[in-house]
Amino acid sequence: MRLPSHIRRVISVWLAALLIFLSFAASAHSVTHLDDGAKTHCTLCFHQHQFNKILLTQPLVLNLAVQRFDIVEFVLPIFLSKHISVYRSRAPPVSL
């Protein structure tokens, strides 16, 4: 069952507003624990700190191989040819 477009639009606007509110609330919550020790942090901040330690903090360096190519020249023979237009409507295929 699909929801009408105006209901989907209202839901998406409310979800976007909730996301913005939660991002401000999370940043304000982390500021409250700046002077606390490691044992007085709440569980949310403790897990966030552990998660931040897992993430890679070094710059990502990719060693890409340089593509090389050879320049090859072909000398083609000169042909003299003439164009022939043939229209065969519903004719069977003919091998030339």
Residue 29 burial (CB count, 10 A): 14
Tokens coding 68: 């090389």
- 37, 53 contact by CB (below 8 A): no
Distance CA 27, CA 91 (A): 77
What is the pLDDT, as a whole number, of residue 34? 58
Distance CA 41, CA 33 (A): 7
Whether the full predicted model's pTM is greater than 0.75, yes or no, is no
What is the pLDDT, as a whole number, of residue 17? 92
- 73, 58 contact by CB (below 8 A): no
The 10s digit of each residue's pLDDT in 6-64 is 898 999 999 999 988 888 877 777 666 655 555 565 766 766 766 767 666 677 777 88
